[in-house]
Amino acid sequence: MITVSEQAKTYIQQLLQEEGHPENTFVRVSVKGGGCAGLEYVLKFDNQLQEGDQVFEDKGLKIVTDFRSLLYLYGTELDYSGGLNGKGLVFKNPNATKTCSCGESFAV
């Protein structure tokens, strides 16, 4: 399962509204090779389910990932940070054995 914090939920809902996404839009989270730690998070809005997608709902938000990415993301929480390092969504991934300093890539 992939979850979202209350702060992340508020931020995502605000972005959806500001960017004018349709009602059926969800958050798509995936993993691809790259970044300084070896694997990179990919986060975008989508409204088309793909074959094999894994669908979760937390706090009223639909979160979708492909099965391969779920192997790396299971148990991850999307959170929001407004700190000095910039504001935006951050991944709290219990499977990551190391992360880069910017938090955009990880290794398992």
Alpha-carbon distance 86 to 84, whole Å? 5
Q: State how beta strands 98-99 and 105-107 pair.
A: antiparallel
Enter the pTM of the model. Answer: 0.85
- Quickly tell me which residue has 């190391």 as its tokens: 98
Residue 84 has pLDDT above 90, yes or no: no
Q: Which of 7-11, 38-42, 102-106 has the highest mean pLDDT?
A: 7-11
Say which CATH number the domain at 33 has.
2.60.300.12
Alpha-carbon distance 93 to 107, whole Å? 10
First to last CA, the chain: 17
Measured on CA atoms in the order 61, 12, 73, 29, is the torsion positive or negative? positive
More confident position, 58 or 35: 58
When divided into structural domains, the chain yields a total of 1
Alpha-carbon distance 38 to 51, whole Å? 26
Instruction: Give the range of the structural domain holding residue 42, as residue numbers without chain letter.
Output: 3-107
